[in-house]
C-alpha cells in the first residue's frame, strides 16, 4: 500500500520512548484504561541504557534512587547488587520491569516517529512513523529523553577513518575485540572518563584526546550486603518520600552551611572526609558552591591538589587539572581511579589545547604536532541534549506552527511538560524542567503523574484539548532565566547551556531551582484548579469520550 493510502489507526494515546520515562507513561496510562501505542527507535526497552553499552558504562547516581518508586512490587522484588549500578544491571532492571508489568505488548520497537501534526478540528495528533504507519490519538506523550541524540565532532575527515569508529552513545551490540589495539578516545566528559578508566586497564595502547579536562570525584562503589538490602526494602517508602523533598530528586545529603561560615581547618576536614567517603557526599557539604565564586575556587583547588597526588608525573597532572571554569559547572563525574589511569604506561594523553586536532585521517588523528596512528577510534563527544530528540522529527502544533519555530531561540514550555500552541502534547523530563540536573526517574514519575491528573480532569469535565497558557509559560521561563543568573553553572561551555552544538541558542536550558521546588510548582497548578492551563471543550462526540 502507498504511504499516503495508509489507513490511520485510532488509539487514545501515542507515547514516544522506551526509556524510564516512556515505560512509566506506558504503565500509568494503560492502568488508566487508555488504549496506547508506544513507539521506540531501539530494539527493546531501556532508552539510553539500551544504546550506551560502552566499556565501563555505569550510572553515577545511587541505584536505589535511580529506580522506580511507583510500584511496591517492583521495588521489593528487584535487588540491586551495588551502590552504583553498571549498565548491564540497569538494562536488566528495565527488562525486569517491562516483563513484570507486561509493557512490551504496547511497544512498536525499531520504529521512528517521522512527524506529529495536531489536527485542530478533530482534536487529535496524527503521528507518522518510518514504517509508513499512521496513528491518530487525542494525546501524545514525548518521553524522548534529554540525552538521546548523539553528536559527532565537527572535525574534518571524520568519515575517512578506515578502522572501526565506535560511538559511546550507540555502542555495537556484538562484542568488539579491542585486545592489543591502538585505541583513540575523543571526549573526556562522563562517557569518555568511564571508557578511559576501563580500557586503560586492559591490554591496549590508549590515546586520550582531551580538549577540556573535567573534574571528577571518587565513586568508591560498594556492594550491597544482604542486611543493607533488607533494610533498604523495609524503608523504601521513606526513601522515595525523601527523594521527592530533595533538590536532586535523590536521597542525598544537602547542606545549608555556607563555605565561609566555617574556619579553614574545619572546611578542609569536611572535604577530606567527604573525599574519603566517596559518592555524592562531597557535593552535599557546603550550600553555596554554585553561587559563591570564592568558595567554588577553594573547592576546585582542593580537587586539583588531589589530582596532583593521584598522577605521578607532575607535568601530566597539570594537563589533567581543569582550569578556567567553576568546579561543578560541567557535570561532575564519579570515577573509579580515573586520574590514576594516566600512571599506566599504555595510557597516553594528547592535550588538544596545547596540540589541537587538525583532522582525522584514514589511519588516525592528526594534531598540529603530527599523526597518532590508531586501529580504533571511539567518539565520546556528547549529545544534542534536551532539545535534539524532539527537534529531530517534525512536530506541528495549532495553526500549522512548527516546534522548531516555537523553539528557534531556545526551548519554551511550562515545566518542560506542556506548551502553549501544542495541545495535548505532554513531555516527560523535557527541557525547562530540572531534566539532567536531578534524578531522571523521580522527574519522570512527577511529569507523567502531572499529565495523568490533567487528563483525568479533562475526562471528568468533557474537555477535548489542553495547553499551557502563554503568560504562565513566559513567567516560568523568566524564573528559569533569573535563577540561572546567579548560578555558576552558566560559566562553562557545556551541553547544559547549549554550548556544545554549533548554532544552538545559548542559555540555561533547565530549571536550576531544585527538584523539590519544581514538584511544588507542578502541584500548585493542580491545586489552583489548573488555571495556568487553557482548556477547550471537546469538539466531537469522539473527543468527549476520551
370 φ, ψ to 5°? 150, -175
Exposed / middle / buried, residue 177 (Cβ in 10 Å: 0-12, 13-18, 19+): exposed
Q: How far apart are CA 540 and CA 493, in angstroms?
A: 49
Closer to ligand N01 by Cβ: residue 166 or 543 = 166
Q: Cα dihedral angle (329, 267, 288, 501), rounded to 10 degrees?
A: 0
CA-wise closest residue to 464 among 193, 235, 233, 121: 121
* CB atoms inside a 10 Å sphere around CB 246: 22
CB 97 within 8 A of CB 69: no
Rounded least distance, CB 504 to ligand N01, Å: 12
User: 226-234 vs 236-245: helix axis angle to the nearest 10?
Assistant: 70
Longest Cα–Cα distance in the chain = 76
**Per-residue cell: 98:** 517491562
Q: Closest separation between CB of residue 516 and ligand N01, Å?
A: 20
Q: How far apart are CA 133 and CA 3, in angstroms?
A: 7
Residue whose CB is less far from ligand N01, 333 or 533? 333
Q: How far is the CB of 457 from ligand N01 (least distance, A)?
A: 34
Which residue, 38 or 190, is less far from ligand N01 as judged by CB?
190
Contact 305/320 with Cβ under 8 angstroms? Answer: no
Nearest to ligand N01 of 271, 497 (CB atom): 497
Task: Supply the minimum distance, in Å, between the C-beta of residue 192 and ligand N01.
Answer: 5
Find the shortest distance in angstroms from Cβ 221 to ligand N01.
11
Nearer to ligand N01, 125 or 339 (CB): 339
Closest to ligand N01 by CB, 271 or 380:
380
Query: Which of 123, 138, 137, 128 shows the shortest CA–CA distance to 4?
Result: 128
Q: What's the min distance (Å) between Cβ of 320 and ligand N01? A: 13
| Nearer Cβ to ligand N01 (38/188) | 188
The half-sphere exposure of 531 on its side-chain side, counting CA atoms within 13 A, is: 4
Q: Which helix (H) or strand (E) holds 75?
A: helix 72-77
Q: Closest CB to ligand N01 among 212 and 453?
A: 212
Identify the bridge partners of residue 183 per DSSP, sorted by sequence position: 206, 376
> Can you give the binding site for ligand N01, defined by CB under 6 A?
58-60, 147, 153-155, 168, 186-192, 194, 211-212, 331, 352, 357, 380-383, 436, 495, 500
Which has the closest alpha carbon to 492: 352, 326, 332? 326
Instruction: Using CB positions, name the residue nearest to ligand N01.
Output: 189
Contact 129, 114 (CB under 8 A): yes
Return the number of the residue (388 or 423) whose C-beta is nearest ligand N01: 388
| In the complex, least distance from residue 103 CB atom to ligand N01, rounded to whole angstroms | 24
Distance between CA 348 and CA 340 in Å, rounded? 12
Q: Which is nearer to ligand N01, 440 or 455 (CB)?
A: 440
Phi-psi region of 212 (alpha: psi -120 to 50; beta: other; left: phi over 0): beta
CB of 102 to ligand N01, least distance (A): 29
Amino acid at each position: 500500500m502507498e504511504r499516503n493510502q495508509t489507513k490511520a489507526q485510532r488509539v487514545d494515546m501515542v507515547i514516544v520512548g522506551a526509556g524510564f520515562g516512556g515505560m512509566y507513561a506506558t504503565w500509568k496510562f494503560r492502568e488508566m484504561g487508555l488504549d496506547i501505542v508506544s513507539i521506540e527507535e531501539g530494539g527493546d526497552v531501556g532508552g539510553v541504557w539500551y544504546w550506551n553499552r560502552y566499556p565501563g558504562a555505569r550510572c553515577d547516581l545511587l541505584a536505589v534512587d535511580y529506580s522506580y518508586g511507583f510500584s511496591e512490587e517492583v521495588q521489593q522484588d528487584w535487588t540491586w547488587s551495588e551502590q552504583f549500578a553498571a549498565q548491564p544491571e540497569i538494562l536488566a532492571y528495565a527488562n525486569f520491569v517491562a516483563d513484570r508489568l507486561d509493557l512490551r505488548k504496547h511497544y512498536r520497537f525499531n520504529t521512528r516517529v517521522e512527524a506529529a501534526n495536531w489536527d485542530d478540528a478533530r482534536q487529535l495528533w496524527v503521528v507518522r512513523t518510518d514504517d509508513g504507519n499512521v496513528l491518530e490519538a487525542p494525546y501524545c506523550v514525548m518521553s524522548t529523553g534529554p540525552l538521546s541524540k548523539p553528536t559527532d565532532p565537527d572535525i574534518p575527515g571524520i568519515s575517512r577513518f578506515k578502522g572501526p569508529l565506535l560511538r559511546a552513545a550507540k555502542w555495537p551490540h556484538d562484542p568488539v575485540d579491542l585486545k592489543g589495539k591502538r585505541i583513540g578516545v575523543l571526549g573526556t566528559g562522563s562517557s569518555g572518563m568511564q571508557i578511559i578508566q576501563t580500557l586503560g586497564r586492559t591490554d591496549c595502547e590508549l590515546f586520550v584526546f582531551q580538549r577540556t579536562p573535567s573534574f571528577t570525584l571518587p565513586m568508591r562503589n560498594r556492594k550491597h550486603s544482604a542486611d543493607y538490602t533488607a533494610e533498604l526494602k523495609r524503608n523504601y517508602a521513606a526513601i522515595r518520600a525523601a527523594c521527592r523533598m530533595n533538590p536532586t530528586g535523590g536521597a542525598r545529603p544537602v547542606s545549608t552551611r555556607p563555605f565561609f561560615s566555617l574556619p579553614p581547618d574545619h572546611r578542609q576536614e569536611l572535604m577530606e572526609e567527604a573525599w574519603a567517603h566517596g559518592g555524592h557526599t562531597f557535593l552535599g557539604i557546603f550550600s553555596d558552591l554554585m553561587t559563591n565564586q570564592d568558595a567554588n575556587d577553594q573547592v576546585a583547588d582542593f580537587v586539583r591538589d588531589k589530582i596532583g597526588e593521584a598522577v605521578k608525573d607532575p607535568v601530566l597532572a597539570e594537563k589533567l587539572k581543569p582550569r578556567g571554569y567553576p568546579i561543578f559547572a560541567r557535570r561532575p563525574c564519579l570515577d573509579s581511579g580515573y586520574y590514576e589511569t594516566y600512571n599506566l604506561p599504555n595510557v597516553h594523553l594528547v592535550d588538544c589545547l596545547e596540540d589541537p586536532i587538525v583532522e582525522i585521517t584514514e589511519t588516525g588523528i592528526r594534531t598540529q604536532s603530527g599523526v597518532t596512528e590508531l586501529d580504533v577510534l571511539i567518539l565520546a563527544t556528547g549529545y544534542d541534549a534536551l532539545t535534539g530528540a524532539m527537534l529531530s522529527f517534525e512536530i506541528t502544533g495549532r495553526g500549522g506552527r512548527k516546534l522548531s519555530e516555537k523553539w528557534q531561540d531556545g526551548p519554551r514550555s511550562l515545566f518542560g511538560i506542556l506548551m502553549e500552541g501544542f495541545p495535548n502534547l505532554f513531555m516527560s523530563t523535557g527541557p525547562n524542567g530540572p531534566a539532567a540536573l536531578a534524578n531522571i526517574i523521580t522527574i519522570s514519575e512527577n511529569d507523567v503523574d502531572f499529565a495523568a491528573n490533567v487528563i483525568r480532569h479533562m475526562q471528568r469535565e468533557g474537555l477535548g484539548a489542553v495547553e499551557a497558557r502563554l503568560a504562565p509559560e513566559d513567567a516560568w521561563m523568566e524564573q528559569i532565566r533569573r535563577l540561572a543568573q546567579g548560578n555558576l553553572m552558566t560559566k562553562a561551555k557545556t551541553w547544559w547551556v547549549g554550548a556544545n552544538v554549533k548554532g544552538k541558542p545559548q542559555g540555561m536550558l533547565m530549571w536550576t531551582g531544585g527538584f523539590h521546588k519544581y514538584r511544588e510548582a507542578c502541584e500548585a497548578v493542580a491545586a489552583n484548579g489548573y488555571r495556568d492551563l487553557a482548556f477547550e471543550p471537546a469538539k466531537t462526540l469522539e473527543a468527549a469520550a476520551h
